[in-house]
Structure 1
Amino acid sequence: MKFTTQNPQKTLHLVSLGCTKNLVDSEVMLSKLSEYKLTNDPETADVIIVNTCGFIDSAKQESINTVLDLDTQRKEESVLVMAGCLSERYKEELQKELVEVDIFTGVGDYDKIDELVHEKRSHFANEVFLQTDENERVITGSSYHAYIKLSEGCNQTCSFCAIPSFKGKLFSRTLDSLVKEVRNLVAKGYFDFSFVSQDSSSYLRDHGINDGLEQLIENIEAISGVKTARILYLYPSTTTIKLIDKVTASPIFQNYFDMPLQHISQNMLKIMKRGKGSEKLRELMQHMRNVPNSFVRTTFIVGHPGETQKDFEELCTYVKEYGFDRANVFAYSDEEGTDAFLREDKIDEKTINKRAEILGDIINQVTQNSLNKELGKMVNVFVDGESEEHEYLLSARNTLWAPEIDGEIYINDNELNGEITFGQQYHARITEIAGDKLLATIVS
């Protein structure tokens, strides 16, 4: 994702890779470097920053390729900065090998990026940076929606995940800080919020509070001007029926349930150290599904060491039967420093890729089934602007959906007297499906 702002002096080109949590950190850096004019042209930029992702092989490779590609494009006197997760995770190796990079920094100095650029020095803080209400951000990509980061780090011990090794243990923001940030953003015109972290349902557990998200919901509901909100990245063992019911009862929080399951077989959940048995997990998921107008998103990993053909077939059957609204599948990749990396019962790459392809096809079908169920429905949508598909089609998003990941609705008709205002909420009727896109008419 690339961003632009204004200042008649030096120019900045920033690329934010990976997740929305990275995006929040990139927005903090944009604020700290506000004296720079942002440009989409790396060839003319005085400073180039790549906020990297270090989660899995494909993300790591994308980060490296982006840095090297930008190095070939940049002008001679520019400064190239490598920041974020990949830089943090492999700081010793990258500083030795990537001679193209002028400044290295990790996950602890986003709020000091202006100093590092000015002094042209690398630095890795001992602690991960966690934004507070005192850190200004340049919100990107929307005039009405903003991501809010709940915490950093993670206390889970999933066999395949290296994030705790370079992000550390769970470190939650105070509720007061979150409320202040949302209030500040509402005052600037924002009214739709997505709350994110590595493990959102563990929010405030590091402070000895087990119902942190429930308290958050109550406090956000009390802020005048917040119209809609949703929570991303729930974790199975810390998500409760009570929390699901709290979301369901909320007039503000959407019935949006995003829980990366990774697997469903008892054997694999144990191997992956997911903290909840298959039977209890199925009960929890069914409770989400039974919520009126619920939207359920998840993620799976196939080909993890120890996954038998029987485990895989059980997963495929579950995905077909459950009826997820959206899902993603990742082919397992070895990550240094994880339990799975040390296992001897590895699965060959050909089998892993074949399983990912099979499950991917199933996911495509269940996604299409979810879209088909929307036909004829009246839904609330945010209209974002003209679509990239055609100038006569407007791009909109169901207010239930998260931005960017859950899809796009094309508005091709308008029953109102007058023009549609971008960044506003409307009632729309879903009229047809074109491929994986819903078409709708604005009604009121």
Structure 2
Amino acid sequence: MKFSEEKPKKKLHMVSLGCTKNLVDSEVMLGKLKDYELTDDESQADLIIVNTCGFIDSAKEESINTTLNLHNERKKESVLVMAGCLSERYKEDLQKELTEIDIFTGVGDYDKIDKLVHEKRSSFSNEVFLASEENDRVITGSNYHAYVKLSEGCNQTCSFCAIPSFKGKLHSRTLESLIKEVKNLVNNGYKDFSFVSQDSSSYLRDLGQNDGLEQLIEAVEKIEGVKTARILYLYPSTTTHNLIDKIANSKIFVNYFDMPLQHISQNMLKIMKRGKGAEKLIELMQYMKSKPNSFVRTTFIAGHPGESEDDFEELCSYVESFGFDRANVFSYSDEEGTLAETRDDKIEQDLVDERAEILGDIISKTTTNSLENDIGKTFEVYIDGESDEHEYLLSARKTLWAPQIDGEIYINDNELEEQIIFGEIYEVIATELAGDKLLAKVLRKI
């Protein structure tokens, strides 16, 4: 008697580059390809997908190099897919030049990836893909935290940014769709949420509603099982005092204020087309900082065309005095199709990089100060598991912090008799700072 052997599962290797918004799209693709078994070994994969980033030069380079390296390692008969922003932005050029790639797809077909792979064809939809509660995503990297995408595209016209040229105008999801998705995720054990988009504080403005995030906060607070939430990527001209109050008064949303400023001098804000005067911006930032237990994160661009020495010194002085909890600095680089690219007052690359380094050093000090301020204080953390550093150290992060970008806390002591449960909230006390990591002792389970 013959027994039929089960056909071995095909294997999938996925690389998601760039931002957390890309990660959500990658998770949608994983949901569509559940028939595949995930593998970390590209040489064993039958299907390889790179979800690319097309934001700045270094990200574009990483996307192309990653894809070509995977091509060199892959086995015969495997299928290599280039998806996402870079693929969308340069579709004609890439399809012509990168003959190694089997399938190209952009930002509109994440939910059709299974069909495209089956038919082995490229596709670029005219519309941007907007996630919905129906998308059966495979959440990666955590068993308790998930990103939820509010919208696609952006209505801002910043001088240095090409995103609207390939992501299009703001296109918000309905509040009903978002709430359904969060409820589905809660039912699957998720309790901590980060809401993301290109411009989160403009959520629902394309549908004629200026208080979209306030509505979201109210609706999420009513969902039983949501423990903590935060909003990433606020925009200066669409963030109001009312929104800041709403976040600060929420029992679910933590006082996490993530607003990419890019600059602070009036001259540069005007050149960059940032849509809010320096005085009002400084007042807004101060208002965020004034909230109890607030955490303020931002991003700056050094060396944008038109930036004088005085502008740069004003920026450095502001960053130093404000004392951001976390910040990133990027060296300016030309982006095709942007206003900044056409300016004739560009700054020499050496000076751009020098300014980025100076600002980076200041940010490094303000980050250290922020961490040092926590020594001796008690706060709540999510405990993720064993750290990569040592098996006796547990890895945790403040419930206030966003995953992966704001740091890691090492738990090296435990006052409880019971076993620590990973993915749960504990109260800890920070005892010291070792390098850039806080060390903490567990006091009790929340």
Per the shorter chain, which TM-score range?
Answer: over 0.9
Show the counterpart of 1:348. 348
For residues 296 and 202 of structure 2, the distance between their equivalents in structure 1, rounded to whole angstroms, comes to 19
Show the counterpart of 1:205. 205
For residues 311 and 99 of structure 1, the distance between their equivalents in structure 2, rounded to whole angstroms, comes to 46
Alignment of 1:165-244 (within 5 A): 165-244=165-244
SS at match of 2:43: coil
Residue 50 of structure 1 and its aligned partner are, at CA, apart by 0.1
Letter of the structure 1 residue corresponding to residue 271 of structure 2: I
Residue 233 of structure 1 and its aligned partner are, at CA, apart by 0.1
Alignment of 1:1-400 (within 5 A): 8-400=8-400
Residue 9 of structure 1 and its aligned partner are, at CA, apart by 1.0
Residue 76 of structure 1 and its aligned partner are, at CA, apart by 1.2
Show the counterpart of 1:443. 443
Letter of the structure 2 residue corresponding to residue 429 of structure 1: I
Structure 1 residues 256-286: Cα deviation after superposition (integer angstroms, max 9, x where no partner): 0000000000000000000000000000000
Give the TM-score taking structure 1 as reference length: 0.98
Alignment of 1:408-423 (within 5 A): 408-423=408-423
For residues 406 and 422 of structure 1, the distance between their equivalents in structure 2, rounded to whole angstroms, comes to 19
Give the TM-score taking structure 2 as reference length: 0.98
Structure 1 residues 27-63: Cα deviation after superposition (integer angstroms, max 9, x where no partner): 0000000000010000010000000000000000000
Instruction: Assess if the C-alpha contact under 8 Å between 1:229 and 1:253 holds in 2.
Output: yes
For residues 21 and 373 of structure 1, the distance between their equivalents in structure 2, rounded to whole angstroms, comes to 31
Structure 1 residues 96-137: Cα deviation after superposition (integer angstroms, max 9, x where no partner): 000110000000000000000000000000000010111110
For residues 131 and 170 of structure 1, the distance between their equivalents in structure 2, rounded to whole angstroms, comes to 14
Instruction: Assess if the C-alpha contact under 8 Å between 1:45 and 1:74 holds in 2.
Output: yes
SS at match of 1:328: strand
For residues 155 and 191 of structure 1, the distance between their equivalents in structure 2, rounded to whole angstroms, comes to 31
Letter of the structure 1 residue corresponding to residue 315 of structure 2: L
Instruction: Assess if the C-alpha contact under 8 Å between 1:144 and 1:191 holds in 2.
Output: yes
The structure 1 segments of at least 4 consecutive aligned residues displaced by more than 4 Å after TM superposition are none
SS at match of 1:224: coil
Residue 418 of structure 1 and its aligned partner are, at CA, apart by 1.4
Letter of the structure 1 residue corresponding to residue 240 of structure 2: T
Instruction: Assess if the C-alpha contact under 8 Å between 1:82 and 1:101 holds in 2.
Output: yes
Letter of the structure 1 residue corresponding to residue 403 of structure 2: P
Letter of the structure 1 residue corresponding to residue 274 of structure 2: R
Please provide the CA RMSD for this pair.
0.6
Letter of the structure 2 residue corresponding to residue 135 of structure 1: N
SS at match of 1:43: helix
SS at match of 1:288: helix
Show the counterpart of 1:403. 403
SS at match of 1:327: strand
Structure 1 residues 334-393: Cα deviation after superposition (integer angstroms, max 9, x where no partner): 000000010000001000000000000000000000000000010100000000000100
SS at match of 2:87: helix
Letter of the structure 2 residue corresponding to residue 36 of structure 1: Y
Letter of the structure 2 residue corresponding to residue 289 of structure 1: K
Residue 8 of structure 1 and its aligned partner are, at CA, apart by 4.0
Unaligned runs of 5+ in 2: 1-6
Letter of the structure 2 residue corresponding to residue 50 of structure 1: V
Instruction: Assess if the C-alpha contact under 8 Å between 1:8 and 1:37 holds in 2.
Output: no
Letter of the structure 1 residue corresponding to residue 57 of structure 2: D
For residues 216 and 44 of structure 1, the distance between their equivalents in structure 2, rounded to whole angstroms, comes to 43
SS at match of 1:281: helix
Instruction: Assess if the C-alpha contact under 8 Å between 1:145 and 1:192 holds in 2.
Output: yes
For residues 224 and 177 of structure 2, the distance between their equivalents in structure 1, rounded to whole angstroms, comes to 17
Show the counterpart of 1:3. none
Show the counterpart of 1:4. none
Unaligned runs of 5+ in 1: 1-6
